[in-house]
Amino acid sequence: MFPIRDLNPKHSATVLTLLIIAANVAVFFFWQPFGQGVQAETEFLYERAAVPCELTEQRPIVAADLALGECAPAALGQAFFPEKNLWLSVLTSMFLHAGLLHLLGNMWFLWIFGDNVEDAFGHVGFILVYVLSGIAATAGFVWLHPTETVPLIGASGAIAGVLGAYLVLFPLRPVLALLGLFVLPVPALLFIGVWFLGQFAVDAPGVAWEAHVAGFIAGVVLTLLAKPALRRSTRASRG
């Protein structure tokens, strides 16, 4: 199933959703060095993106790590990017993408589901859910693959958190989804549930489905914790 749009009106301007989409697009077209050769692109990702081995060992990656394909024990040698801020790389990774289709797919899901989540949480609450889900996505992947030396990139983990929040807040709202040759309305619970279960069947190299699952769970948990306060806020605004 592929989402076309949801049938869920919002009641306020969802500025942050648009700003996040704009930031991702700007980073892809104006910062990432696509078209400048594989070496330039690879160096950029190792300099800017989160690498599980680096976060586990708390040191920038060295040649021995890449030669081994995992964190080298007691690795010696000059780091490729010794000034790299490892913790900032977790945030930076949320705005980097592997290609145009990767970017468009992520931004499409954020466009469809992000506005209503922002509408429910407000601007501050929404950005907290988005960023914390993205951090949880990276943490979950690093926990399962602590010695991995391939950069972890994409907004998918943070957007998975938005999907988790949407599922908790609007489980029965219809989503128009492309099913083969047909466009049919299905409840958000069914659409997002199928998406979530489908992550466990992903068998494509380079797809960090574990990060998607971790981000989704974070979004669900954060929204369940915030839901009572969101209800009080909604009643007060209508009162």
- Burial class (CB within 10 angstroms; exposed 0-12, middle 13-18, buried 19+) of 63: middle
Q: Which of 239, 5, 231 is closest to 120 using CA atoms? A: 231
Residue keyed to tokens 């949320």: 94
Q: DSSP label at 50?
A: B
Q: Which amino acid is at 210?
A: E
118 vs 132: CA distance, rounded Å: 14
111 vs 116: CA distance, rounded Å: 10
In DSSP notation, 34-81 reads: TTS-HHHHHHHHHHHSB-HHHHHHTS--BHHHHHHTSPPTT--S-BSS
- Across 44-60, b (16+ Cβ under 10 Å) vs e yields bbbebbbbbbbbebebb
- Burial class (CB within 10 angstroms; exposed 0-12, middle 13-18, buried 19+) of 140: buried
Known catalytic residues are 156, 212
5: enclosing H helix or E strand: strand 2-6
